[in-house]
Amino acid sequence: MKKKPLLWLMIITCIVLLFQVKNFMFVKYKVEGVSMDPTFTDGTELLINKFSPKLTKISRFDYVLFHGPKNQILIKRVIGLPGESIKYVDDQLFVNGVKWKEPYLKEQKKHKMGNVLTGDFQLKAITGQDKIKKNHYFVIGDNRIHSFDSRHFGTISKEQVVGVKRNQDE
């Protein structure tokens, strides 16, 4: 009989510990706005790993949750990594002069209203530098026409990153 209360205490303790670990390792984020449409629509709830940026490299096309201008929390897609030169020409991403495919934009490009989804730009015109600085990233929203991102405020530093959601689609 004495074993049952002890067993229940152990089960409850384990459940409480699991919730604490989850809260320590992950942050729940609710997408606000249309800047990541159609990948993440307004109101989408995401569980973001807070340890990824500290333990592993942030990769191209990962989603990062970060402190943006005016300390707002934003989520965007990484398209430029430290040491890279990036530009857009004729709706096409170039990294270090090499054309990159962005399959996640395929449907949007089919239904775009104007001539281009992503206007032409070069990193140097935005940041004044040819290459992305060490521990910095160029981030951009999937809804290119309605996104406030690195095209407006420049690169983000690794210190600004709250968490990472790995892109497993591409």
DSSP letters, the chain, are: -THHHHHHHHHHHHHHHHHHHHHHHEEEEE--SSTTTTTS-TT-EEEEESSHHHHS---TT-EEEEE-GGG-EEEEEEEE-TT--EEEETTEEEETTEEE--GGGHHHHHT-SSS-SS--EEHHHHHS-SSPPTTEEEEE-SSGGG--SHHHH--EEGGGEEEEE-----
Residues marked as catalytic: 35, 76
